[in-house]
Amino acid sequence: MRISGIDLSQPLASEAQDAIWHAFLAHHVVVFPKQFLTREQQFAFAAHFGEVEVHGAHRGEAKRYDVAHVMTNLDADGRPVIRVSKAANYHWHTDKPYHA
């Protein structure tokens, strides 16, 4: 589900929050194009939908992972990085979906 015309860097009105939640329940994936959020803004957006937990693997690295874990396939210059890995979890996955 694609939702545009909303600025996720700002607090959500309750109507927008409800619409996003129902879109997620109906479609399981919601895309918000052209959003450029800081880690803090991403955290605030996520907090509209429940408690945001610190990722267990990064509790000791609060300076780097305090509000959001950045996942990317781009190098420092913005070019795609191609790595060969036999580990299935190297590819995109989600942790703790049972908490939903």
Q: Is 78 among the domain residues?
A: yes
**What is residue 40's predicted lDDT score, i.e. its pLDDT?**
86
Task: Report how many domains make up the chain.
Answer: 1
Q: Is 76 among the domain residues?
A: yes
Q: Is 7 among the domain residues?
A: no
Q: Is 95 among the domain residues?
A: no
Q: Is 53 among the domain residues?
A: yes
* Partners of 44 in the β-ladder: none
Structural domain including 62 reads 14-90
**1: nearest Cα among 29, 42, 22:** 29
**48: nearest Cα among 4, 95, 3, 15:** 15
**What is residue 4's predicted lDDT score, i.e. its pLDDT?**
94
What does the pLDDT look like over 23-74, one tens digit per residue?
999 999 999 999 999 888 988 999 999 888 766 655 555 554 466 666 677 8
Q: Is 69 among the domain residues?
A: yes
Q: Is 20 among the domain residues?
A: yes
